[in-house]
Amino acid sequence: MSNIPLITVCITAYQHEKFINETIGSVLSQKLDAGLEIIVGVQPFDNKDRTLECVYEMAAAYPEIIKVVMLPSDVKHIYMNGRKTGRANFLNTFSFAKGDYVCHLDGDDAYDRADKLQKQIDFLENNTEYVVVSHAIINEMDSKDRAVYWKKEPSGFALSNVCGGAYFHLSSCMYRNIFKGELPFDFTLPGTGDLYLLMQYLRFGKGFYFPILGSRYRVHGGGIYSGVGNRVKRKRMIRNLITYSNTGYFEECSELMLQRAKKISLVREYEIYCMRKKHAARICFLLNNSGFFAKKLANKCKSASRKLYRKSKRSLKLIVCR
């Protein structure tokens, strides 16, 4: 029994009455050869719906697997972008993770296939040089599903890939529990979220990506990240990349992150000109940034060719129907 690996799934629940039963149920439905523990972190003084009742009902039904941990009322909240976050709850929940492997799941997301965790465990058990394994996700918005895949590298991905723009959603990642419930870096800095956590793990090894749909990410107005527009997201990403490059942890990738921040700022500046209908400024901007202009032109040509293809396909269907 001692040779059987233990997997800890940390779930942070906050105002998730609509989703939390499905979230916990998706973990319980996993077909595993490994041991499983589920740590559900709750904020009793903040939840204004039935989230707590739902969590305790699930815990009462599976007392050997589910452990509920409450965030102490005297804990100082962590604010980001002027909003109170669940970061303190996340850190408190993670402190109870004792498994060989650890996964994090927000209370409004869910696993989408029963063999997800076992596939990830099997890979990490057989490949000791890897510290994280991820997969594709289903992005659910207004009850509509969209599959999100990333480019697969046969040998896996490294810190430089992530700093250069690759991203893997929190619900898709399984980590070796190398930090044993205590993060040895400041996780309260502005912008230190899912991406920063992934980058810190990748300092200790490589990551691997399966092109399978393994989890479901819900986009809704209540989400701190998903509830804002693309322009705001880009502004925050620029700030985040600069913050990461100044931490001193990623010196070998610092220049790469700053270059990426510069590219995102170009996109943002161009969008502002478009929004304000400053045509002359937009033309000057494109002339001064030839690389950006060439990319925009290429994307426009691709979009035009796709429209032409769809139009010709519709015309062909009409001819056939006649």
Query: Tens digit of pLDDT for each residue in 19-51?
Result: 999 999 999 999 999 899 999 999 877 667 889
Q: Is the pLDDT of residue 304 over 70?
A: no
Residues 6+ apart with CB under 8 A from 144: none
Looking at residues 155-168, what average pLDDT do you find? 88
User: What is the tens place of the pLDDT at every residue in 70-94?
Assistant: 988 777 777 766 677 778 899 999 9
Q: What is the pLDDT of residue 228?
A: 59
Out of 42-56, 87-101, 203-217, 308-322, pick the least confident. 308-322
| Tokens of residue 303, six digits | 């979009």
Lowest mean pLDDT among 141-150, 221-230, 245-254: 221-230
Average pLDDT, rounded, for the chain: 84
Q: Which span out of 44-48, 227-231, 312-316 was modeled with the highest average pLDDT? A: 44-48
Return the closest-CA partner of residue 215 out of 301, 132, 139: 139
Tell me which of 286 and 236 has the higher pLDDT. Answer: 236
Residue 270 has pLDDT above 70, yes or no: no
With 70 as the cut, is the pLDDT of residue 320 above it? no
* Structure tokens, 111: 């696993």
Average pLDDT on 227-240 reads: 79
Residue 127 CA neighbour count, 13 Å, CB half: 18
Q: How far is CA 236 from CA 27, 219, 263, in A?
A: 32, 18, 14
| Section 137-164 average pLDDT | 87
Among the residue ranges 44-48, 138-142, 244-248, 310-314, the one predicted with the least confidence is 310-314
| Residue 147 phi, psi (nearest 5) | -75, 135
**Structure confidence at residue 164 as a pLDDT band (50, 70, 90):** confident
Q: Greater confidence, 221 or 84?
A: 84
Share of the chain above pLDDT 70, in %: 80
- Range 83-91 contact pairs with CB under 8 angstroms and sequence separation of 24 or more: 83/224, 84/46, 85/224, 86/12, 86/14, 86/43, 87/187, 87/188, 89/12, 89/14, 89/41, 89/42, 89/43, 90/10, 90/12, 90/41, 91/183, 91/187
CB 117 within 8 A of CB 32: yes
pLDDT (0 to 100) of residue 84 = 73
Identity of the residue numbered 205: G
**pLDDT of 98 above 50:** yes
Q: What is the pTM of this model?
A: 0.81
Tell whether the model's pLDDT for residue 15 goes beyond 70: yes
Q: How confident is the model at residue 3 (pLDDT cuts 50, 70, 90)?
A: low
Task: Look at residue 1 in the predicted model and tell me its pLDDT.
Answer: 41
Lowest mean pLDDT: which of 4-18, 76-90, 190-204, 238-252? 76-90
Extract long-range pairs of 266-271: CB within 8 Å, 24+ residues apart.
266/292, 267/234, 267/292, 268/231, 268/234, 268/235, 268/238, 270/296, 271/231, 271/234
Q: Which fold has domain 6-219?
A: Spore Coat Polysaccharide Biosynthesis Protein SpsA; Chain A (3.90.550)
Higher pLDDT, 309 or 89: 89
pLDDT at residue 48 in the model:
77
